[in-house]
Amino acid sequence: MSNELENQIKEEVQKDKINAFYKKYKKVINTIFALIILLPIIFQILLYYNKKKDADLLSEYLKAETLIENNEKEAVDILLKLADNKNETISLLSLNRLIEYYISKDKKSNALELLENDNTNFDLSILNELKNIKKVIINFNSIKEQEILQLLNSKDKNNSFKLIKKRLLIDFYINNNQLEKAEQVKKTF
């Protein structure tokens, strides 16, 4: 009997300690439980919102693609707006589509202006290199030697476009009747 009484007293003391602890830290415990429940919900809402925003941007891009044949001005306005967007994929797609449109309409100066005024620095250096190669190709007939060297210069040793850049430089020198320089660049292959 005394063991039973001791056990009952121990259980009561333990319950009192738990109740005292809960009363003391009630706000903290409730806050932690609320966070455990609310954080995943908030996270899912944010993911949904971002996906919806991306879907809306893609929808706008596709709208511009379909309008480019019938209503060029509206399509170009939409593409220009999307080119300045924070979404890199949509921005890159729009920028490239605008450049393609300007080149097809023989408005190379507009394409060049678009590339030169584009301040977007993409996370991938490969995209920036492609942008520079496009500048060289679009402006090939009027570019100066210093400009082409600066645009094609790469600090990356494992450059993916090394061969294309050298080929552009060789073609530039041949086009400008600088055959000795073209031969020097050929020897560096």
Task: Indicate the angle between helix axes 179-187 and 162-175, nearest 10 degrees.
Answer: 160
Q: What pLDDT is attached to residue 38? A: 93
- What contacts 102, CB < 8 A, 6 or more positions away? 108, 110, 111, 114
Q: Nearest to residue 140, comparing CAs of 169, 161, 177?
A: 169
User: Is 0.75 surpassed by the pTM of this model?
Assistant: no
* Spatial distance between the Cα atoms of 151 and 165, rounded to a whole number of angstroms: 9
Alpha helices in the chain, H assignment, sequence order: 2-24, 26-67, 72-83, 88-104, 108-117, 125-138, 145-152, 162-175, 179-187
Classified as helix, coil or strand, 85 is coil
In the block, tokens 């908030």 appear at 42
* Spatial distance between the Cα atoms of 151 and 172, rounded to a whole number of angstroms: 13
* Spatial distance between the Cα atoms of 53 and 112, rounded to a whole number of angstroms: 30
Number of CB atoms found within 10 A of residue 36's CB:
9
Domain boundaries, the chain: 2-120, 140-189
* Spatial distance between the Cα atoms of 123 and 127, rounded to a whole number of angstroms: 8
Q: What is the DSSP letter of 86?
A: S
Q: What pLDDT is attached to residue 107? A: 86
Number of CB atoms found within 10 A of residue 57's CB:
20
Percent share of the chain, pLDDT over 70: 89
Residues of the chain falling short of pLDDT 70: 1-2, 118-127, 154-160, 189
Range 44-49, long-range pairs (CB < 8 A, 24+ positions) = none
pLDDT per residue as tens digits for the range 15-63: 888 888 888 898 998 999 999 999 999 999 999 999 999 899 999 999 9
